[in-house]
Amino acid sequence: MEKVIFIGGTSYSGSTMLDMILANDPKGYSLGEINALFRPYRKHHFEEIERLKKDDKWRKILKAGENELYKNLFRYFPEIDFFVDSSKNPLWINKHIKILVNKNIEVKNVCIFKTPVEIAYSFNKRGLSNQWERTWENYHRLYFALISDFKTVAYKDLVNNDTTLKKLCEYLEIPFFETKKNFWEKQHQTFFGNNRARIHTNNLNSEGEEKLDLSKRKDEYRKIYYEEVHDKDFISSVIKIMDRNNNLEKISSILENYNILNENVDNNSLLTKSIVFNAYSIKLRKINEILSILKAKICIL
């Protein structure tokens, strides 16, 4: 059966890497953040669109618009059984789930996450220490409100626990093999996303968010790793933020409850998800829709 796998997660959570790991299969295709081809808001998005217009297949896919995207992907790439989309935007995912269900295309959702300490550390390394709390909270609140059927995977488990990927593939009903993590062994398309993961793709544009040391050999990027946070003062500062913001703990609890390694789902946690986040979705959905439109108009101008 034709299938689309949507990957959720905040920036710097490992979504691009997971996208290419899952698509590391002869019947898989990594799309990356393909939503930016239809909702561009940065210079390199528009440059990629112009490049794709020179390709017969992609020109037709772009012209047909986002509502026909997956129908046309399966049409023009008949050798592919499943596409992996790491656009991450819950609004994009929610919209396309509804479209795909009506077209009898199977949908699977997985959200990759880092703990507050881990994501705060990732943001801090990039000089974004003041943004992690708002980003992490708002993203997951919207995701929980709009996406009802999903599993989560902890970045740490994906890297360190060999059982994680196998269980995830079982849930997604796609083939698993021992070297599946070696995503660099396949030439992916993978639009946009983290450049450290995408350095092995055939359309790398270094103008994305994640800058690369292009003096390095590509094989130096051929690894996945987990960096443990040992700074006690840093950990303490994150814990203080979590003590002040109860939503962070609630989100952490829900992410662990839906973890692919968790075989005992807590129904009380599911109820908490529904009560706490559903009412939040309407307001934030409207705000994000307005922001997306404004970003596109600003870039065009």
Confidence of residue 142 (pLDDT cuts 50, 70, 90): very high
Q: Are 153 and 160 in contact (CB under 8 A)?
A: no
Distance from C-alpha of 35 to C-alpha of 191, rounded to nearest angstrom: 9
**Residue 143 pLDDT > 80:** yes
Give me the residue spans of the domains in the chain. Answer: 3-300
What average pLDDT does the structure give for the chain?
Answer: 86
Q: Are 54 and 115 in contact (CB under 8 A)?
A: no
Indicate the burial class of 45 (C-beta count within 10 angstroms; 0-12, 13-18, 19 or more). Answer: buried
pLDDT confidence of residue 275: 45
pLDDT confidence of residue 253: 94
The answer to which of 11-20, 110-119, 275-284 has the lowest mean pLDDT is 275-284
Indicate the burial class of 282 (C-beta count within 10 angstroms; 0-12, 13-18, 19 or more). Answer: exposed
With pLDDT > 90 as the criterion, what percentage of the chain qualifies? 68
Indicate the burial class of 80 (C-beta count within 10 angstroms; 0-12, 13-18, 19 or more). Answer: middle
| Residue 232 CB contacts under 8 Å (≥ 6 apart), including other chains | none
User: Reduced to 3 DSSP states, what percent helix, strand and coil does the chain have, rounded to the nearest 5?
Assistant: 55, 10, 35
Looking at domain 3-300, its CATH architecture is: 3-Layer(aba) Sandwich (3.40)
